[in-house]
Amino acid sequence: MVGRKYYKVIADHYAEVRQYGIAQKYYLAANTPRNAIDMYIKASMWDEAHKLCTKHMLPDEVANLYIQQVSIYACDLVWYTIIT
């Protein structure tokens, strides 16, 4: 399909305007589920991110993503503790 190459651009637009469900639809149509997962993580929509992770990623990839997110938030917590 000719329009398929624009699906990610369309998805990015909808993510930017916080229309996450529509953005997800276009990310999946563009075959970029990781972009949808990252969108939900950025929006702190953990349940939605988890649903996509378990559907579109291998178990080891999901575990690595969770470890990465925990380390990011642990660093944020350390900095928050230092400055307050």
- What is the distance in angstroms between the CA of the first residue and the CA of the last residue of the chain? 54
Residue 28 and residue 16 in contact, taking contact as beta carbons nearer than 8 Å: no
pLDDT tens for residues 28-73? 999 999 999 999 999 999 999 999 999 999 999 999 999 988 888 7
pLDDT of residue 18: 98
Between CA 6 and CA 67 the distance in angstroms is: 32
Residue 20 and residue 28 in contact, taking contact as beta carbons nearer than 8 Å: no
Residues 6+ apart with CB under 8 A from 32: 8, 11
pTM: 0.81
